[in-house]
Amino acid sequence: MSIIFDSETQTFHLQTKHTSYIMQIVKSKYLVQVHWGRKVRGTNPGSLLAYRKRCSFSPSTDPEDLAISLDTLPLELPAFGASDFRVPAYQVQLDNGTTVSELIYESHRIYPGKPRLEGLPATYVEEDGEAVSLDIVLSDKLIGLKAILTYTVFRDADAITRSVRYVNESGGNMRLLRALSVSVDFPHPDFDMLHLHGSWARERHIERRPLTTGGATIESRRGSSSHSVNPFVALLSKDADEDHGDVYGFSLVYSGSFLAQAEIDPYSTTRVVMGINPFDFAWLLEPGEAFQAPEAVLVYSAEGLGGMSRTYHKLYRTRLCRGEYRDKSRPVLVNNWEATYFNFNADKIEEIAKVGQQLGLELFVLDDGWFGKRDNDKSSLGDWFVDGNKLPKGLEDLVERVNKLDLQFGLWFEPEMISPDSELYRAHPDWCLHVPGRRRTEARQQLILDYSRQDVREYIVRVVSDILASCPISYVKWDMNRNMTEIGSALLPPERQRETAHRYMLGLYEVLERITSAFPHILFESCSGGGGRFDPGMLYYMPQTWTSDNTDAVERLKIQYGTSIVYPISSIGAHVSAVPNHQVHRTTPIEMRGHVAMSGNFGYELDLTKFTEEEKAIVAQQVATYKELRPLIQFGDFYRLLSPFEGNETAWMFVSEDRSEALVAFFQVLSKPNAPLAKLRVKGLDPDKDYRVVEVEVADAEERLFGGDELMNVGLHLPQWKGDFRSRLYRFIAQ
C-alpha cells in the first residue's frame, strides 16, 4: 500500500497489494491516466503515455505541440466544450450562460488515513495506518472553479476509492449541471460490460454484453438506485470468467438516481464515467460554496469476477458497514407479513412467536399494520402511533409477551412515506414531494415525504425515536415502497428545484445517521419493496438489506447469485416462505427453501402455527444447522460454482478465512431423465490439506475424506435425484 509522487516524471503511482493506478501531469497542466491494472514496480518515463497529432477534427490546445488534444488524452476529470468531444465527468454553467471550462493541475497532498465525506456515506478506516490518501487540486482560474479529487488505497484490500469536491471560488454564482464521481479511460475497446438489472421481485439479474462503438449506458431516473438497475458496472476482458481474466469494477456509494456510462470513441479507446445522474439535476453554487460528489469504489481483479467480488465483499462488510452488528452474527427471525398481512392482533402474534421459540428462532418481527388505522395499504403512513384496535394494551405489552418467550422483538417502519389518508397529511399537505398545480401521483396509495425539509426530518426522527425508546426493540426493517414523481419542494426557491432529489438523499442520510447512532443496539435492515435500494449507500447505515419480496426458492437462486457479484453475504436477507409461493405460486420442498435461505441472513416469513409436526422437525433441524454454520456463512469467503443463469444447476460455497472449514450448497431445479454422472469442482480450499466431507442434514450421512487438491481439481460426485427442486449441503472440515 503506497502512493508515490515522482517529481521528475510528474507521475502519481497508487499501489495496493496486487494493483497499480498511475497518473501523470502532462505539460504541467493536464492530469491523465496511464495505467490501472496489474501491479508494476516502477515506471519508465518514455513508456508512460503515447500521443500523436490527429486530424483537425481533434483540435489541439497547444500551438507549440499539435499532438496535445483533449479529445485524445485520457483525462482524469474531463469536461465538454474545450476540445474533448467524449462524455464529460462534469459540466458547469456560469451566470452568462456559457458552459465551457478547463481544469488544470494546481497542487496535491499525500497523507495517511482516509477523510470522511461531508453528509455522504463512504468507506472508512479505523486507524490511519489502514490506508493512504491523495488529494489533487485542479482549477480553472478564469472562472474560479476548483475540483479536489480524493483517492484512497487500502492496506488490506485491492480497492481504490475516488470522489470529487467542486468548489466555487469566483465572485458570482455558477451552476453544476453534471458532477460525476469518476472517469477512467482505457486504451482499447476489447471489453464485455456486466451489470445487474431486473424489476420488482426479479432484482439483480446478471447481464453481460460486448461493448460496441458508441458504448452503453446504465442509469436510474427513479430517485433511488432502483430494482431496475444497480449502481455497479464491470468491464471484463473477452476471456474473463468467474476465476480468470481481467475485471474492472465500478461501484457507487449512493442511493439515488445514478448514471454509469461506457463510451468507445473513434480511436478505439473506452471511457467509463459514473456518478449522480445529471438528468433533471442541477446544483447552484454561490460564491464560496462547495458540492461533494459521492464516492466510487474501483476494484481491479486478475482473477475474474470471483476475485473482484471477494474484494468488494470484504471491504464492504468490514469498512462500509458499521455498528455493533458489523461483525456480529445476525439472529434467525420470523416475520409475520406473509402469515397475517394486515389481519392480526396481539394473541395471533404471540401464537406465532410461541412456535418460533419451540423451533429455536431468536427474533420476532412485526411487519406492516401496527400503527394508525392501518387495516390495508390505503392509509396511515406518517401516523407513527400504535393502533389501539389491534394492540389495545399497546406495543409495550406485545413486546413483553414476545420477550418472555426468550425472543427479541423487531418492528417494521416506512418513515419516508405519507398516506393522503392520514392525520399527518391532513395537517401538513405540503410536506410531500409535489409541484404546485400538478397531480400528486400515488403509488401503493402513498406519497413521498420531502426529506429535503428540516421540519420533516425533525418530525421523523422524533416519532421514530419515541417508538424505539418506548420498549425493548432489537431490530428495525426500514421500508420504502415507491419511486419519485413530481419531484419538487415547497421550501426551495425556483433556481434550486432541480436540487430536490439529491437534497432528499442528503436528508435521508442525515436521518439515518441520527437514528442509527441513537440506537446502536438495534439491527437495522433496509428494504425498498425488497431489493429496490440494495446499494452501498444504504449499507453504510444498515448492514443488511431485504434482498427481494420474491421468496420463491427457484427465483432466489438468480437473485442471490446476482447480488453476490458486489454485496457480501452478511448483507443478504433471505427467508423461507409458504407454498404455493405468494409471488409466483410455485411449490418447492421446505428443504430447498431452507437451503436457499440459509445462504444469507436466515429467517422465516409464514405462519409457523400451520406447520405439521414433520415440518416442525425439519425447521428445527434447519435452525440448529444454521446456527452452527452461521459464522461461516455470514463472514466466510464466498465462491460461485455453478450459475443459475447458465443451466439447471446452481452451486456456491463458503470458506473460512483460514481454509479449515467450508460449506457447499448445491441446487437442482428440474429432474433429468437418465442423467449423466457429474462432478462438482469446488474452490478456495487448501490443496495440501485433507477434508472430512459430510452431507449436512442427511441422517446417517457417510463421512468421506478427500484431499483439498482432489476436491478442487477432480471434484465431488453429485447426487442422482428423481423429482424437481432438490438441494443438498456439504460440510468440509480440515483434518
Selected catalytic residue, list 185, 450, 535, 549: 549
Q: How far is CA 306 from CA 320, 352, 415, 661, in A?
A: 20, 40, 37, 19
Dihedral of alpha carbons 336, 597, 357, 541, sign: negative
User: Could you give phi then psi for residue 451, rounded to 5 degrees?
Assistant: -75, 0
- Are the CB atoms for 269 and 262 separated by under 8 Å? no
CB atoms closer than 10 angstroms to residue 352: 24
Based on its alpha-carbon atoms, the radius of gyration of the chain, rounded to whole angstroms, reads: 27
Give me 682's grid cell.
Answer: 469446488
Distance CA 321, CA 524 (A): 11
Cα dihedral 67→70→73→74 (10° resolution)? 180
Q: Is 421 a catalytic residue?
A: no
- Are the CB atoms for 18 and 39 separated by under 8 Å? yes
Q: Is 479 a catalytic residue?
A: yes
**Which secondary structure element, helix H or strand E, spans residue 235, and what is its range?**
strand 229-237
**Which secondary structure element, helix H or strand E, spans residue 359, and what is its range?**
helix 346-359
First to last CA, the chain: 35
Dihedral of alpha carbons 105, 110, 116, 122, sign: positive
Distance CA 18, CA 684 (A): 18
Selected catalytic residue, list 479, 535, 552, 637: 479
Question: Looking at the DSSP assignment, which residues form a beta bridge with residue 663?
Answer: 654, 731
User: Rounded to 5 degrees, what angle do the CA atoms 110, 136, 156 make?
Assistant: 50
- Maximum distance among all Cα pairs of the chain, rounded to whole angstroms: 86
User: Could you give phi then psi for residue 579, rounded to 5 degrees?
Assistant: -125, 150
Q: How far is CA 451 from CA 293, 324, 424, 501, 505, in A?
A: 19, 27, 15, 9, 8
Please give the DSSP secondary-structure letter assigned to residue 115. P
Active site (catalytic) residues: 479, 549
